[in-house]
Structure 1
């Protein structure tokens, strides 16, 4: 198996037919078919089911495509990094961010990249914190801003900041008072929970308390917009940060109360895969992100405590 075979195979996967893949790769259909046949013979299994209107991946083809994407991305990144090592920072950098991080620094990050690093291709993906971690583990992003990631040898993590969690909801749900609400009082309210998939710890780090909250939740949603709309509609309350519901709080549509006994917090980390050497572009973007986060906290745009790593 060589890189040319993988590139041809990936092209067939992405374009759905030999003819479309051949046009994209600018090679003859017969050459593409020959390389695919050799690859299937080498692996001892069919990678596609030939159909009248295209090619459908087999289970083996699906698995190989996942590996091929990671391998080809790593090769392209290495080539761009070495070529640009002595000059202007360049190359593709994919960054995954939890919703709150995008809200705080997403636009500023994009602006700075366009202004200061015009040869960097920035791919910015917003998702729930658990999904962001999954994208990193699958090598779909190079850097990820994730809340409370699990301890894992495959990850290289650095704590960035800590945020205090609050209870947000309509006053008729959580009360009109500005006084703190205890966790026991909170558990009696109709809680709407942001489902976090593989990283439920993104809400809080206390696993036992998290299980209690999950057990009492009236709704568990995977959509930030759905949660915000449900809170404004008075369907329940949410455990989050003031930044998470900033627009609704500023408009007066909802109210917040601090949480005590115990106080709840979450920690934001910047994460990378430990076995992937960072490129010049990735190192530059990491430093830029840390700088923007620090500025947002110092300016009061992000209510949090910076962690000095």
Structure 2
């Protein structure tokens, strides 16, 4: 059985890059760290680090173990905090992942209410493109995440929250000087800039067949919201997204938006957690607060979407 102390030592070596720096951080003799590392490497039958003149770099096996170790240690810390709180007090660390659009819609008011109503919660908020948020959740770096089009996988506990219509955005000379709807087939003839999502390409829209057509015709694929916005303003192409995604540029009038029809395109936002991770008092309170802020943002019109579930 894995030794928790060995995992703590191993993580420190990875994150500090050397035995000496990990030793200083942990206040544990470097020789002791070296001994425990040797035991781990013997247990797994392969080296976990490459020893270099200026430090230690994890091997592929070391990086894999690091992902597992962080998840294990985090789960143990959450369990300890939760079980020591016999009165159901809302306290302890909770980490939340949010897509770029979710942060724009509810990020600040959500954070403000956590600070005001749950001062004993140590909130960690991670903003990312939705396709990046899923691997972050899988690596146990966040407790829950607002993610688009979560895959149907038993490792996730996922509930649909809202559905957003997608539009075509770009300069009038690219997409036409009109706000009238544009048909999907006509969209394929435009210079499309696609938000690249890697293993989570479904985060762009629900229909994977239509997504493949878009990917095949895309002029550019990017993983940067800022780069996409700048390219749209520069007239380098058009993009498919929600109005919220490019809200700032739309309000400035530098770009315009056209609804997409035949078929209409949409994507679904889910509140997703790892099915294997037990809920805590704190995580349940934060989950309820997240959902309340999403509902309020839709009701007030700040988030152009339809609630589901």
Q: What is the TM-score normalised by the length of structure 2?
A: 0.95
Report 1:196-215 matches (<5 A).
196-215=197-216
Question: Contact (CA 8 Å) 1:85, 1:280: kept in 2 or not?
Answer: no
Unaligned runs of 5+ in 1: none
Aligned length: 308
Q: 2:176 aligned with 1:179, yes or no?
A: no
SS in structure 2 opposite 1:46? coil
Hey, what's the Cα distance between the residues in 2 that align with 1:283 and 1:11? 30
CA distance in 1, matches of 2:208, 2:287: 29
Equivalent in the alignment of 2:37: 36
Aligned to 1:157: 158
Counterpart residue number, 2:255:
254
**Runs (5+) with no aligned partner, structure 2:** none
Shift of 1:87: 4.6
Deviations 1:45-83 (A, max 9, x none): 333344443333334333322221111111111111112
**Deviation (angstroms), 1:24:** 1.6
Cα distance in 2 for residues equivalent to 1:282 and 1:294: 18
Q: Give the 3 Å change call, closer, same or farther, for CA 51–184 of structure 1 in structure 2.
A: closer
CA contact (8 A) 2:68 2:139 kept: no
CA distance in 2, matches of 1:59, 1:201: 28
2:181 and 2:43 map into 1 onto residues whose CA distance is: 66
Instruction: Return closer, same or farther for 1:40/1:202 CA change in 2, 3 Å cut-off.
Output: closer
Indicate conservation of the 8 Å contact 2:181/2:258, yes or no: yes
Note if 1:138 corresponds to 2:164. Answer: no
Q: 1:199 Cα shift?
A: 1.5
1:53 is matched with which residue?
54
**Moved >6 Å (runs of 4+):** none
Partner of 2:287: 286
Q: Alignment partner of 1:93: what SS? A: strand
For residue 157 of structure 1, give the secondary structure of its aligned residue in structure 2.
strand
Mean CA deviation greater in 291-300 or 232-241: 232-241
Relative to 1, partners in 2 of residues 1:207 and 1:46: Cα closer, same or farther, differing over 3 Å? Answer: closer
CA distance in 2, matches of 1:78, 1:263: 45
Mapped partners of 2:266, 2:175: distance in 1: 19
Is contact 2:89–2:281 with CA below 8 Å preserved after alignment?
Answer: no
- Specify the SS of the correspondent of 1:20: helix
TM-score where L is the length of structure 1: 0.95
